[in-house]
A and B are shown apart, each in its own frame.
Chain A
Amino acid sequence: MSGTLNSFVVANPNQCIGCKVCEIVCFAVHNKNNQVAMSVGTIAAPVIPRLYLVRGETFTMPIQCRHCEDAPCANSCRIGAIKQEDKRIVIDENDCIGCKTCLLACPFGAIDLLPQFKDGEAVIQANLKEESEFGLEEKVKTIAYKCDLCQDHGEPACVTACPQQALTLVIPAEEKKRRNRQAAVNLLSALN
């Protein structure tokens, strides 16, 4: 069973120092098409990460999608924009209508709704306008964002970039085997 489970990234709050490198790198690898290259000066759109550094009184750590097997976000999506794909749950950002149901459905708060950008420019809605003091203005398209395990970039960038090695990509089948082995070793050393 575990061989078919979705992978996910999880952070160790004891190692996280709250530097936000994970958020920055997440944005960087997802925006190569937005002309974001290697230097900060090439960023023209706001930084939109797909994981979120959370800070409390006594802890700091990033929170991101668990790629749930019975994903509440996918089950709640009215237009079927959230799909299971190759051991991960992904949002089709072009289909998303910004209804925010997934945001409410996710028990981790791993989904955020933010403006869509293309080539560094905000994507404008076709017809819907916004009333303002200067009359009707164009309205930016807002879509749901969440961790896609860096589907186009190999290993998740946050895992590789974290200067504290606080993030781990969990592959459930391997993790289960590792724990089995560790349990056996522990048992053995207890017996000897």
Chain B
Amino acid sequence: MVSRNYLMNIDCELCTGCRRCAEVCPLNAIEGEQDAPQFINSERCVLCGQCVQICSAYASAFDESLTPRAIKLRERGMLETVKEPLFAAYNVGHALQVKEALASSELYKVVQCAPAVRVSLAEEFGFPYGSLTPGKMAAALRRLGFDRVYDTNFGADLTIMEEGNELVKRITEGKDLPMFTSCCPAWVNYAEQEYPELLHHLSSCKSPQQMSGVIFKTYGAKIDTMDPAKILSAAIMPCTCKQFECTREEMADSGYRDVDVVLTTRELAQLIKDKGIDFANLPDEAFDLPLGNYSGAGAIFGTTGGVMEAALRTCYELITKEKAPRIELNFVRSGEGIKTAMVRAGELELRVAVVSGLKNAAKILEDVKAGRCQYHFIEVMTCPGGCINGGGQPKFLLPEYREEAVRSRKASIYEHDSRLKIRKSHENPDIQKLYEEFLGEPLGHQSHHLLHTEYVARKGQN
């Protein structure tokens, strides 16, 4: 596993010690005196990347006392063609590694993109905030040389199948409630290091990225008649922590690394520019089938409340065996903080909570510890507003741009959902086919082996 320290850094040559990053860090992991360069305490950092987003201490191109830009780019794992300014807080990138892999004729290159990337990528090319461009994104990935453009949204639908059934099982057995979502790797890191005694409350489901990854190298390899050893599986994420997630030792249930490398939204944009692709004028292209097919439920995973809403659309029907009366559950669509709701599903009063921003998680966790927590199901996303505001998303020049962008991205994601013909994960025909042909049933033997994981207490062990 790569060390966390290696993935998130503050360039002490550029840091002015304004400590705005320390204000947004949910773990108080940024240490240093005011007006002096800051350091990230890797024992505490969960790699959310909010410091990367807020940092405004840029490297002046005209300051000759600084380490040359070319050296800084190399240190940061960035392509040498990147023109944008460099800032003190940064995450180490992997675009060089992906570029090299894409040039190889030996490898079969497969890619997936998180739900939040398709509503932000175009901003890096001057499009209005939150422009929804899944078609251009798929076209760009193909022109970069990926052999299969699959989708994390498919994995999100798969996650709902497993997580929904897991929730119903836990409720039926009255065991390990409340259940927390487990899609957000920074949240999982946080739970592992801060609340190891509550790890059995986390859903055992892998994240959509890792579920997609393991399916690509098993079922995907089979349908494409490809040797999984030759598959290079890349993921494009709005997140600076997903790279860490894919290197976790246990994420190799396909027999190989389930996901080999992760790029952030920003890195994908840089790679597209590096290749000279005219993004603005790309045609809309479709994702490859079957592992690129997704429902509206998969699409809304990228925003706070989205995983909850997607889960409820399926859980309602699992519990009642009847069609849900409504699809759009506005009462779980929240902003920042904690949002709670009660959903009636037949006889059951399902109590749910949505936590947006990791700073808000401690209160609920303390309640769980004290046995005071009355919820059945709790969604936690580390970044305020969810993945649409992730640490790997386009960074803004002005603070007020960011708020507006997050609002637009959110509207865009729900708009995308509302226009899709299939809105529920369990109605995705390619998910149904995956179970018929390969997995068997949700929570079954094969699912257990490939799609579920275990967590490790790691207090002070990073």
B61 within 8 A of A: yes
Contact partners of A44 in chain B: CB under 8 A: 83-84
Measured CA separation A18–B21 after assembly (Å): 13
Contact partners of B57 in chain A: CB under 8 A: 18-20
B126 within 8 A of A: yes
B-contacting residues, A31-78, CB 8 Å: 35-47, 53, 55, 60
Contact partners of A23 in chain B: CB under 8 A: 58
B371 within 8 A of A: no
Residue of A nearest to B58 (CB): A47
Asked if A38 and B20 make an inter-chain contact with CB atoms under 8 angstroms apart, the answer reads no
Measured CA separation A36–B83 after assembly (Å): 12
Q: Which of B34, B397, B399 has a CB less than 8 Å from the CB of A40?
A: B397
A97 within 8 A of B: no
Q: Nearest Cβ distance between residue A140 and chain B, in whole angstroms?
A: 12
Contact partners of B430 in chain A: CB under 8 A: none
Asked if A47 and B60 make an inter-chain contact with CB atoms under 8 angstroms apart, the answer reads yes
Contact partners of A157 in chain B: CB under 8 A: 398
Take A17-B34, A20-B57, A114-B62 as given contacts and tell me if A39 and B20 are in contact as well, using a CB distance cutoff of 8 Å: no
Residue of B nearest to A45 (CB): B83
Q: Scoring A residues 1 to 30 as 1 if CB is less than 8 Å from chain B, else 0, what string do you get?
A: 000000000000000011111011101100
Measured CA separation A35–B280 after assembly (Å): 13
Measured CA separation A60–B15 after assembly (Å): 13
Q: Which of A18, A36, A41, A60 has a CB less than 8 Å from the CB of B394?
A: A41
B364 within 8 A of A: no
Residue of A nearest to B16 (CB): A18
Majority DSSP secondary structure for residues of B touching A: loop
Residue of A nearest to B69 (CB): A46
B106 within 8 A of A: no
Take A39-B123, A47-B60, A47-B61 as given contacts and tell me if A18 and B35 are in contact as well, using a CB distance cutoff of 8 Å: yes
A171 within 8 A of B: no
Measured CA separation A17–B67 after assembly (Å): 24
B50 within 8 A of A: no
Contact partners of A105 in chain B: CB under 8 A: none
Contact partners of B400 in chain A: CB under 8 A: 161
Take A18-B18, A18-B35, A47-B60 as given contacts and tell me if A40 and B125 are in contact as well, using a CB distance cutoff of 8 Å: no
Q: Nearest Cβ distance between residue B454 and chain A, in whole angstroms?
A: 38
Measured CA separation A25–B58 after assembly (Å): 12
Asked if B83 and A40 make an inter-chain contact with CB atoms under 8 angstroms apart, the answer reads no
- By CB atoms of chain A within 10 A, which of B61, B269, B397, B401 has the most? B397
Q: Scoring B residues 116 to 133 as 1 if CB is less than 8 Å from chain A, else 0, what string do you get?
A: 000000011111010000
Contact partners of A80 in chain B: CB under 8 A: none
Measured CA separation A19–B396 after assembly (Å): 14
Measured CA separation A23–B394 after assembly (Å): 19
Measured CA separation A114–B58 after assembly (Å): 17
Contact partners of B62 in chain A: CB under 8 A: 46, 114
Asked if B18 and A39 make an inter-chain contact with CB atoms under 8 angstroms apart, the answer reads no
Q: What is the size category of the interface that chain B forms with chain A? A: 35 or more
B-contacting residues, A136-177, CB 8 Å: 157, 161, 163
Asked if B20 and A28 make an inter-chain contact with CB atoms under 8 angstroms apart, the answer reads no
Measured CA separation A122–B372 after assembly (Å): 63
- By CB atoms of chain B within 10 A, which of A17, A24, A41 has the most? A41
B-contacting residues, A60-109, CB 8 Å: 60
Asked if B16 and A40 make an inter-chain contact with CB atoms under 8 angstroms apart, the answer reads no
Contact partners of A53 in chain B: CB under 8 A: 16
Contact partners of B266 in chain A: CB under 8 A: 40-41
Asked if A43 and B56 make an inter-chain contact with CB atoms under 8 angstroms apart, the answer reads no
Q: Which of B17, B56, B84, B405 has a CB less than 8 Å from the CB of A38?
A: B405
B85 within 8 A of A: yes
Q: Nearest Cβ distance between residue B195 and chain A, in whole angstroms?
A: 32
Asked if B399 and A39 make an inter-chain contact with CB atoms under 8 angstroms apart, the answer reads no
Q: Nearest Cβ distance between residue A7 and chain B, in whole angstroms?
A: 22
Residue of B nearest to A18 (CB): B16
Contact partners of B396 in chain A: CB under 8 A: 38-40
Residue of A nearest to B125 (CB): A42
B19 within 8 A of A: yes
Asked if A19 and B16 make an inter-chain contact with CB atoms under 8 angstroms apart, the answer reads yes
Contact partners of B16 in chain A: CB under 8 A: 18-20, 53, 55, 60
Q: Nearest Cβ distance between residue B55 and chain A, in whole angstroms?
A: 9
* A contact set with B: CB distance below 8 Å: 17-21, 23-25, 27-28, 35-47, 53, 55, 60, 114, 120, 157, 161, 163
A-B contact pairs, 8 of them (CB 8 A): A19-B20, A28-B397, A28-B398, A37-B123, A37-B127, A38-B396, A41-B84, A43-B397
> Beyond the given A37-B123, A55-B16, A55-B35, could you list 10 further A-B residue pairs with CB under 8 A, ordered by the A residue number?
A17-B19, A18-B18, A19-B20, A21-B398, A23-B58, A28-B397, A38-B401, A40-B395, A41-B270, A41-B394
Top 3 A-B residue pairs of the complex, sorted by shortest distance between their CB atoms: A46-B61, A41-B124, A19-B18
